[in-house]
A and B are shown apart, each in its own frame.
Chain A
Amino acid sequence: MNWLRQLFSRRRMYGELSEEIREHLEEKTDELVAGGMSKEEATHAARKAFGNVSLAEENARDVWRWVSIENFFADVRYGLRMLRRNPAFTAVGLLTIAIGIGANAAVFSVVNSVLLKPLNYPKPQELVALHQTAPGAAGLADFRNGLLLSPSMYITYAEQNRTFQSLGVWLPGTANVTGLAEPEQVRAINVSDGVLQALDVAPALGRWFSQADQIPNGPERLMLSYGYWQRRFGGDPSVVGRNVLVDSRTREVIGVMPQGFRFLDADFDLIVPLAFDRGKLILAGFGYHGIARVKPGVSIAEVNADMTRMLPIWMDSWSNGPATNPHIYETWKITPAIRPLKQEVLGNVSEVLWVVMATIGLVMMIACANVTNLLLVRVESRQQELAVRAALGGGWARIARGLLVESVLLGLMGGVLGVVLAYAGVRILVAPGPANLPRLSEISIDARTLGFALCLSVLSGLLFGLIPALKYAGPRTTLALRSAGRSSVSRERHRARNLLVVSQMAIAVVLMVSAGLMIRTFQALRTVDPGFTGAPHLQLMRIAIPDSLVAQPERVTRIQNAIVDKLGTIPGVKSAGFASEMPMEGFDSDWDAVYAQDKTYSDDEIPPLRLFKHISPGFLQTAGTRVIAGRELTWTEVYGRRPVAMVSENLAREMWGSPSAAVGKRLREFPSTPWYEVIGVVQDVRENGVQEKAPEIVYWSSWLGDLHDPGYAFRTMTFAIRSDRAGTQGFLNEMRQAVWSVNSNLPLASVRTMQEVYDKSVARTSFTLVMLAIAGAMAMALGTIGIYGVISYTVSQRRREIGIRLALGAQRGDVLQMVLKQGARTALVGVAIGIAIALGLTELMRSLLFGVSAQDPMTFAAVAALLIAVALLASYIPARRAMLVDPVVVLRYE
């Protein structure tokens, strides 16, 4: 046991070594004394014969050490001591790095979770969205989803393809569930056979739909989401086989999807099967989203080719009814444009995220430059120490390593703090649901983000340690030693720091210009007339009346009318109305071609597609949408089912030249329907968002059809109520009472104000704006600190020179000017370089801009002026100090 302890206890071993050496020296001394030498002489001689005692001891100890590692730890200990000894420097440096790394890690975690991680399905690379375009179909470009699939198209693709494992179509929607608690409108996904098979996520309970569940008029089935199962059935496993009243129709629960399963990016409550009646299908009906899993190894191009091959088969197999030409769709030039499902889920958010990531990266660079500058100043003040170390035989590599270890330590400590900040940052970032960010629920700080933060810490530590290490650990140290005590600073040394400040300024210009462009974009958006007014005072809600609850279309219309009337009696309500959707709500819209009576069309021509909206009398007035010519619809016309319609201003101009000319003209959707008279022209409405051009719209009544049959009533409507009380809880309760006094089985869904809808539609812009503004502000602050630091440092270094100048008769104003000029010169160079870079880089964010050019001279000029002003201000403080230098004091001090 004793020897073991000896072996492992180095401290003891070292003690023994010292003892041994001491004994050695004593023995020798004793011997020499015995030989007749004096004690003093003997000690001296013994030491001389022995050589350097501590070196020998050190070398002997080294035998037991892992030298490089232990030297490294010594460097670390030394670095920590240096950091501790300069708490102010360390605090500033740490904070700068922590904020930089924290912001970068937070944004990276979003980029990673949203853009980089694969979708949460088995073999997600095989999943595609069946996107199609139709360049020949005029007007289609106004619709968000390209050309969706018709049921007949789906059947053709599903049966004739050679490249898919499984394929299906789906449709988002809502359903009213009654009989469980209060009537509730829930989120439903309608899916055809093949959709769940393509996604390939096994149910947690029960089974998927099979073909047998999708026969028209067959047994009605239903699947639940995990969340809905927990919420409404308390996670009861016996739910499979139970009946649920969905849209007043009994459906049997056959399965529950597992926890965490999301349909593309949607949370949902129910999955309801689509049941197409083959016998009744026609070519048209392009309203379904297609999704498929391709066979392994099949490329996108092959799938596109396969679908192109099937399009003629589709046209040959179906028709739009007797005496129609099925090949009329050839004029549409339908082109498959399959997308990976991930791209479909992400939409256009990736641009925003990459721009934000790049921006934050630039901020990090400025932060690094600042810390480098701090380090340079500090190393400069430590020159004596470094020179002494070098003179005493510390190799310059070792000194450089020491400096690097110190800066990397700083980086790592900043990184740890930064990760803490990032945890908070991600919460803040994600809380408001920015930019309608997809996959929001998946965002978290995972191993990859931590790895990113670690790499960033080490890299930035190396980066800002490298410049001082290269500059000061070099072989010129003897020079420094010789000039010790003198504070003359070579021009060359300033060059590095000026370079840093110039690059900080340049990056700050880039960031602030980007932020400025976003501000201008936001301003431009605000000046756009969206086609409605007073959004905060416009209360919205959505009500669906299923045909199983109320069968007759006329009853539906009367109930809707009664709801509007009842809402109108609530105190504080100015008016109320309803429409198939509000602008920017983002529901899949209804559209078709429209024929004008006074135009002629050839047989194989489909006129441009127009957006259709179905509105109630009073809706336009409620929404604040102006009627430019003619008048609004009346209830008499609705109940009389008068063939009347309204059109948007741009449609009126396109078809008839002017709004007033359009009134009294006639148009129709199908050759079989009567002509509809245009009774009014409505101002253009930015249906697809403020940035998007206003589509051409035809406004119809909500109850259509011939007077002599029941016709067709639109059952899911957004109700709009104009009131100053919009959005308050009391108002909501009164709204609910009003609706339930008409029919107590009607749930209220999507209750919100128009302002919320508007904010959501500009969320991408405002998110980018906020992020860039934060980055721009940080850049400006860091850049200002940088320029202030450099100027005040040079001033402190030049005190002697300034003192001499003043003694020789220079005016104090001249000194002030001299220092200011230096600051201005640095700022000007930085700003000029920054503008050159920004001119190129802002091009990359063009798609995020609106109403402003990527090279907007106003923004560029404003940013340049602001930065130069701030730089002058930052140099003014040290310049004043320089001006107040007392030559007597300085010169005497020297």
Chain B
Amino acid sequence: MKKIAKRDLFPGALEMMILQTLRRQPSHGYALVQDIKRTSRDLLQIEEGSLYPALQRLLKEGLVKAEWGVSSTNRRVRIYKLTAAGAKHLELEVSSFERMLEGITHVLAPGES
């Protein structure tokens, strides 16, 4: 009831977007959120806090790695980087997502069947 708070994304979507963003360039948490919000043109409602559990999951599975560094605004931050495994995982996820999306689009498209 309260554990899975109203979530607009399907499971794994946030992780996929994080990986995709990190593929372009390593980044720290706050910048990551801003990036995703910006690229999604604020269409997605992301609670900023939900980023951190997702990052920890990715860390644990070895899809990203983290290092302490200094940000452009001169803050001590943890910078996340995509690993090779992460890149591979992203590819798989994206292709399976695209297949799913295609399927859903077919079903939802009026007239066609």
Contacts and interface: CB of A to CB of B under 8 A. Distances in A.
Interface of A: 16-17, 20-21, 23-24, 26-28, 30, 49-53, 55-57, 59-64, 393
A467 B1 CA distance: 27
A21 B78 contact: no
Given A60-B56, A63-B56, A23 B47 contact: no
Interface stretch (B19-27, B69-77, B82-90, B95-103): B69-77
Contacts of A28: 30, 48
A51 B52 CA distance: 11
B2 interface: yes
Nearest to B31: A27
Contacts of B56: 17, 60-61, 63-64
B57 interface: yes
Interface string B30-73: 10010000000000000111101101110110000000000101
Nearest to A57: B52
A21 to B, nearest CB: 6
B52 to A, nearest CB: 4
B70 to A, nearest CB: 11
Contacts of B2: 393
B52 A23 contact: no
A24 B50 CA distance: 12
B30 A24 contact: yes
7 contacts: A17-B56, A23-B77, A30-B73, A50-B48, A59-B50, A59-B52, A64-B56
A21 B52 contact: yes
A393 B1 contact: yes
Given A24-B33, A50-B47, 5 more contacts: A50-B48, A55-B49, A63-B53, A63-B57, A63-B60
B34 to A, nearest CB: 9
Q: Is the interface of A mostly helix, strand, loop or mixed?
A: helix
Interface of B: 1-2, 29-30, 33, 47-50, 52-53, 55-57, 59-60, 71, 73, 75-78
A52 B56 CA distance: 17
Nearest to A52: B49
Nearest to A46: B48
Contacts of A62: 53
Contacts of A61: 56
Contacts of A20: 29, 52, 77-78
Contacts of B30: 23-24, 27-28
B75 A23 contact: yes
A59 B55 CA distance: 11
**8 A-B pairs with the lowest CB-CB distances in the bound complex, closest first:** A56-B49, A51-B47, A51-B49, A59-B53, A63-B56, A60-B53, A60-B52, A50-B48
A59 B77 CA distance: 20
A504 to B, nearest CB: 41
Given A24-B30, A60-B56, A63-B56, A53 B73 contact: no
A60 B55 contact: yes
B89 to A, nearest CB: 16
Given A24-B30, A28-B30, A63-B60, A17 B75 contact: no
A51 B73 contact: no
Nearest to A61: B56
B61 to A, nearest CB: 9
Contacts of B78: 16, 20
B48 A51 contact: yes
Given A50-B47, A51-B47, A64-B60, A56 B73 contact: no
A59 B75 CA distance: 25
Given A23-B75, A27-B75, A56 B29 contact: no
Name the residue among A27, A28, A52, A64 with the largest chain B CB count within 10 angstroms. Answer: A27
Given A20-B29, A27-B30, A393-B2, A53 B75 contact: no
A62 B33 CA distance: 21
Contacts of B73: 27, 30
Contacts of B33: 24
A756 B73 CA distance: 99
Contacts of B76: 23
Contacts of A17: 52, 56
A229 to B, nearest CB: 69
Contacts of B53: 56, 59-60, 62-63
A483 B52 CA distance: 41
A20 B79 CA distance: 10
A53 B47 CA distance: 10
A48 B52 CA distance: 16
Nearest to B33: A24
Contacts of B75: 23, 26-27
Contacts of A16: 78
Contacts of B77: 20, 23, 27
Contacts of A21: 29, 49, 52
Contacts of A59: 50, 52-53
A62 B50 CA distance: 13
A858 to B, nearest CB: 65
B49 A53 contact: yes
Nearest to A27: B30
Contacts of A23: 29-30, 75-77
A51 B46 CA distance: 10
A162 B105 CA distance: 87
B79 to A, nearest CB: 11
A1 B2 CA distance: 40
Given A23-B77, A60-B56, A393-B1, A51 B50 contact: yes
A621 B78 CA distance: 107
A55 B47 CA distance: 12
A57 B49 CA distance: 8
A21 B48 CA distance: 10
B6 to A, nearest CB: 11
A393 B49 CA distance: 21
Nearest to A62: B53
A53 B61 CA distance: 23
Nearest to B67: A3
B93 to A, nearest CB: 18
Contacts of B1: 393
A61 B56 CA distance: 8
B104 to A, nearest CB: 28
B48 A49 contact: yes
B108 to A, nearest CB: 30
Contacts of B29: 20-21, 23-24
A378 B29 CA distance: 48
A397 to B, nearest CB: 14
A17 B52 CA distance: 8
A56 B50 contact: yes
Nearest to A56: B49
A64 B76 CA distance: 24
A730 to B, nearest CB: 86
Contacts of B55: 60
B43 to A, nearest CB: 16
A28 B75 CA distance: 12
Nearest to B55: A60
Contacts of B48: 24, 28, 49-51
A55 B4 CA distance: 11
Contacts of A393: 1-2
A470 to B, nearest CB: 23
A583 B30 CA distance: 99
Name the residue among B33, B47, B73 with the largest chain A CB count within 10 angstroms. Answer: B47
Nearest to A16: B78
A63 B63 CA distance: 14
A62 B2 CA distance: 16
Contacts of B50: 51, 56, 59
Nearest to A54: B49
A26 B47 CA distance: 16
Contacts of B71: 27
Nearest to B77: A23
Nearest to B76: A23
A739 B44 CA distance: 112
A880 B101 CA distance: 78
A30 B74 CA distance: 12
A59 B30 CA distance: 18
